[in-house]
Structure 1
Amino acid sequence: MDMVFTSLDDCYSMYVKYAKDCGFSARKGTTKTNSKGVLHIQYYLCTRAGVYKDKKVDTFDPNQKERLVRSNFSKRTDCGALLGVIFEAGSWKLQKHVIHSMSKLNLGPVKAFNVMKTCFGSFEDVGASKVEFKNYKGYAMVFVSFTGIDNHHCNVTFGATLLASETADTYIWLLRVFLKVVGSQPKVIVTDQDPTMKKAISVVFVDTRHRLCMWHVMHKLSLKVGVRLCNSTNFKERICGVVWTDILTPEEFESEWEVVIGEFNLADNDWLSDIFALRESWIPAYYRMEEMSGLMRTTSRLESENHFFGQVCNSKATLVEFMTHYETAIEAQRHMHRKNDHESRYKRPQLKSNYQVLEGQTADIYPKNIFCDVQAELIGIADCIIQLYED
């Protein structure tokens, strides 16, 4: 977007190379002149841009002078790949850069079009219609990310995509692409209660344990049972105490749940009945012995991810702005991962427990963040033993 060229030949060479890297070929398109007849806009297109129109030739007309050509299948598919360059201040610049720069100043597409009309003198000299400005500015796609946990127990983005819709077929296509890239199915996948995603996972990730995010389920609690009940009683505290713990067996959970539901007369609440029916998909009691079960219990991880992508996703942003923000955010995430790797490899943590031989061995094995959790457990064990002897 920020590229500037001294000649049209340089512009064309760049776009030809870009097209080749992207898997298509380019050709020169139409040009625009200003009110003085000077060339100031040049378009470059995909070779498959436009639609081929057959010429009607009357073969019975003796005066027909056009050479007859055998009909051929057209290779033009009305491809919309387009680059426009504009002559400005002695050099050629990418035209959409102007729209992008105006969007940074919070100027909408219509205002941007009117500004350019004023700059160039007429609507014809702008080189694009008001609708094309709106199409460039408009951005209404669904952002989907694949997030996991790295060896430092931090969120890491495996990949992301933009979808035009959220149908089951779209998600099936997306998961198949992800599977092709990664090469194997994930052991556990956690999503919200989206039914289309659930269907897609069952089709593509047949060997994966699909769990529902506890935070998404419990986030609806006040809305579904009433704000007054949650704020004026200890219902929320009681139900969260049953849901979030992983020390209960399935039988104990069901018993405790019924006690709380009965005490607050909520047996007729349809939403509570529905999520109870799905309990094996989101309640820790039913998968506490499975690997990675802790992924479903934490709220801070999801809140952190929402904040991370909240800086990227903006419904008012252009596609170019989104990509710029996304690449910056991902680079920051990668930088933090490299920093954690460096500190784990070259910095020795301070040993604090009474089991420093064991603690030292864990420091050699685990990354820094994981070691901190192990260290806290070792300190806790020591405190328990001391307390036992004191008693």
Structure 2
Amino acid sequence: MASNTLADGGDDAPNYQLRGVEQVSPNTGTKRYIPDSPSSLTPAEGMLFDTVDDAYNFYKTYAEAGGWTVRKGTQHENRGIVINKYFFCSKEDQKVFRPVDTLVEQPSDRWVRRIPSKRTGCQAAIRIKLTDAKKYLLYHFIEAHNHDFVHEEDLHLLKENRGINRAHEEMINKMSHLNIGPVRAFNIMKEVYGGFDKVGATKVDFKNFKKELNLFIGEFDAEMFVKRLMRKKEFLPNFSCEYETTDEGVLKCIFWADEDMKRNYYMFGDVISFDATYKRNKYNMMFVPFTGIDNHNRNVTLGAAILGTETAETYSWLLRAIKNAYGYAPPVIVTDQDPAMKRAIADVWPESRHRLCMWHIMDKLTTKVGAALCSNTDFRKRLSAVVWTDSLLPEAFEAEWAAIIHDFGLTDHEWLTYIYGLRESWIPAYYREEEMSGLMRTSSSAKARAPKKRS
């Protein structure tokens, strides 16, 4: 009794039909394969292309329709302009392995993995050349291949059609933060994209990327970062970098400033903004930029730091590092309402005037006063009109503030009373004669280009 099995080619066997047209030489028995592609996609001698990329993309589309892939080949240039370019089937040429005599001891650097070659010496190719009319002429076309073609449902598995891109890398990294491995990350992306062939890579690609990433970074990412900056300091005389570690060798804080940052500081460092409200990384460390305003009212970076804690001790270390790098403290520094920073500035930079950022204070208005009052009345509009201006004298500001507080029944509001008591540190009415370079409100413009704030 005949059994209906896969080996016998029964009903359960996959029914793969040969792609393209197979031609067999009656004399030698050599097989040739002609792609079964639409005539509109098939190259022909005499075709003209505007650019080399246009020719490559056309040939690549033709290859994808036929079930094979393209590899870029030799090109000739004249004064930087490509005048001749070859494109081959990816199975063009053959890798030749040097014979190794296993009876003779070989140096360790000569041992290589003998990976079987997938190239078959295929001659299919096109060649283009630049004409006098600045067009690229297809002057040579070989259509026949010496190998069969890949089925359409398997095209995404070809090496030339898959690879790890930026989206894949971001997915793998973010999934790893949730303790999700590369295989599960691939499965999630497969479901989101709608199939294996839509991902553009395989599970093996995901696993290999994660493995390479772990090997590259390992447990030495902070050490690599510090060494890179200290190497810059060694070879660049105007580069400054200082850092501090715990007794166990864990990075606590680091500050750096390059030549451009120092130039900005010397030119635009009369007033600087210090912002420590940026998102922390997975090591619970935060990025702290120092910002100034140039002559065109644009933000310029004066220095940067990464801190592990927000204590007065850490801030004091940072302020000393800044003073060591630039030689002097800025006349005015603008920060948020961090009490630890306030103490550090008083201790390390007593000669600097400490001001509070208006944006950080006004950003809390809805939370502190209530969304209903801010949205359904003109309370925010009236308050902003007297806060975000330097055209009022202090007496006029105080009168307007009192009128607004009275009209909305907020006389006993604890937070409004508190920030009013700090008015000389953040209200422009008190600095009409003092150049602030717009930095009392700089953080609001910097936020649009900055990482997401911590909650």
Tell me the TM-score range normalised by the shorter chain: 0.3 to 0.5
Which TM-score applies when normalising by structure 2? 0.41
- Larger strand fraction of residues: 2
Structure number with larger C-alpha Rg: 2
Which TM-score applies when normalising by structure 1? 0.47
- Larger helix fraction of residues: 1
